Amino acid sequence: MNRFWTYLFPLMLGIAALALWEFLVRHYEVPVFVLPGPVAVAGALFDNFGSLLGSLWVTLAVTWIAFAIALAGGLALAVLFAESRALEAALFPYAVVLQVTPVVAIAPLILIWVGYEHVERAAVVIALIVAFFPILSNATLGLRSVDPGLADLFRLYGASRWQTLVRLRLPGALPYILAGMKISGGLALIGAVVAEFVAGSGTATGLAWRITESGNRLEIAKMFAALALLSGVGIANFYLLAFFEWLLLHRWHESALKRQG
């Protein structure tokens, strides 16, 4: 199968599914407050585009800020873990506790602590909690997975800890870190959405809140429009990170290489 077909087939399937959906909705006269057709959804998206875009921006900002903090913090902590087994032994169990506790369950607490008047801050904290762990654990694993031969070489030439970290451990860990980033990117968005759902009201204005609001008002087409935007953002984030990964790895790493011969 060449490139052309790998793009055309899913596209054709998608169009066919949308057409079937529209046909069924019209044929069986499904009420628009139960299931609107794709045309109605597109209409709602068009009509509310300005306000939905504003909400999209709020959700995106929360996601990206949480992701950036998770990346910086996760990497920094992973470096400390890789340099000190004792520190890892002391802290890692608590990182696991944070990871395995369902974020939906602690979200209300965080809202209370951070305050309903600062829902976006609470949302950042919640998104951060879910986005943090994949980066921490992947980066720690990567920083530990050093080629022993190269480690010997660095030792032989009297490399300092800093040189070993920057020239050997970090580049070697890059594929792991990028894998963690792809997972975290998706989780940060989920965290942001969960936070808005839990907040329910207050000053929340993100996409998830618009979905709740539209649901309450039985504006199902608008709900679908917001949902479509949310998926779009998730997909865009994922491919952005995948592209970033390709950019950094395609010259050397097996995962990014095409099989030759």
Partner 1 sequence: MSTLLSLSGVSKTFERGLEAIARIDLDVASGEFLSLVGPSGCGKSTALRIAAGLVQPTGGTVSWPQGRPQLGFVFQEPTLMPWADVLANVRLPLELQNAGASEARERALRAIARAGLKGFEAAYPRELSGGMKMRASIARAIAAEPKLLLMDEPFAALDELSRQALNDTLLAIAREDAMTVIFVTHSVYESSYLSSRVAVMTPRPGRIAADIRLHPPPLRDQSYRLTQEFADAAGRVSAALRSAMEGRA
Binding site for partner 1 (CB under 8 A): 147, 149-150, 152-159, 163, 167-168, 171-172, 174, 251-253, 257
Q: Locate tokens 């087994």: which residue?
A: 85
> Between 12 and 257, whose beta carbon lies closer to partner 1?
257
What span, in angstroms and rounded, lies between the C-alpha atoms of 109 and 140? 29
Query: Which structure tokens are listed for 207?
Result: 């996409």
Beta carbons of 123 and 192 less than 8 angstroms apart? yes
Q: Nearer to partner 1 by C-beta: 99 or 164?
A: 164
132, 74 contact by CB (below 8 A): yes
CB closer to partner 1, 73 vs 172: 172
Q: Quick one: tokens of 23?
A: 């046909």
From residue 219, how far is each of 14, 30, 31, 97, 172 by CA, in Å? 24, 14, 11, 39, 51
* Nearest to partner 1 of 55, 138 (CB atom): 138
CB of 174 to partner 1, least distance (A): 7
CA distance 236 to 207: 16
Smallest separation, CB 167 to partner 1 (Å): 7
CA dihedral 145, 150, 156, 157 (to 10 degrees): -110
Nearer CB in complex with partner 1: 132/154? 154
CB of 72 to partner 1, least distance (A): 22
Q: How far is the CB of 118 from partner 1 (least distance, A)?
A: 42
The closest alpha carbon to 257, from 147, 182, 171, 249, belongs to: 249
The DSSP call for residue 256 is G
Which residue lies nearer to partner 1 by CB, 218 or 247?
247
At closest approach, how far in Å is the CB of 235 from partner 1? 29
Say how far apart CA 130 and CA 221 lie, in whole Å. 30
CB of 170 to partner 1, least distance (A): 10
